[in-house]
Amino acid sequence: MDDTGQDVSVPAPLLSLETLRQARDMPWKASNEIRRWLIAPMAWWRLRGLHAGAGWRCYGLPIIQRHRQSEIRVGRRLALRSSAASNPLGPNRPVIISTRRPGASITIGDDFGMTGGSLVCDERIRIGDRVWVGANAIIADSDFHPLDPEKRRAHPLAANTAPVTIEDDVFIGMNALILKGVTVGTGSVVAAGCVVARDVPPGSVVAGNPARVVREV
């Protein structure tokens, strides 16, 4: 526990047996693990603003923006890839996790992985266990700005919000956009480049803009 009252757990070990096996055929993976360990003190400092479980991994430094009157809770074995070398898809920027209003809440389960992209929360984002988010995807529970021009001029940040829920075992493809008020059901797949504006049934694959169910998993 640090002096802000937040839980700060230890990172994952430097080199696991599986990583050593991979390094035999893919030496860049070993390089990534060594760089991860070298930046671990700086990553720990960045993660001080949230409750993170044990075994976290940061490949490159994420950006954490937590409103002082909000909460971010993350389970065990968090993996955030913020450097271009950490994934062959080449994330074009760091992972950003942001709560922007008092009372905002981000809750993430165990074994969450994200490459580049953003989680932006004004109200509530809840993510289950074993959710993977592909390169440069964005999940946001807000319109960011009012849609009505007069309201936008008078109160530029007074946007509509609605909670987002991503249930267990969901895979979200690269460059996808999950909009406010959406629930993505257990075991679903969101294809690359999707714009998801309505609920996704459990066990389905959605694709397109706007996203539509194309088949079952």
Q: How many CB atoms lie within 10 A of CB 107?
A: 17
Rounded to whole angstroms, the Cα distance separating 131 from 123 reads 20
Strands 204-207 and 212-216: antiparallel
Residue type present at position 8: V
> According to DSSP H, which parts of 53-161 are helical?
149-154
Q: CB of 141 within 8 A of CB of 125?
A: yes
Q: Is 145 a catalytic residue?
A: yes
Residue among 51, 67, 145, 155 flagged as catalytic: 145
For residue 130, what are its two tokens? Answer: 């074993």
Q: CB of 215 within 8 A of CB of 205?
A: yes
Catalytic residue ranges: 145
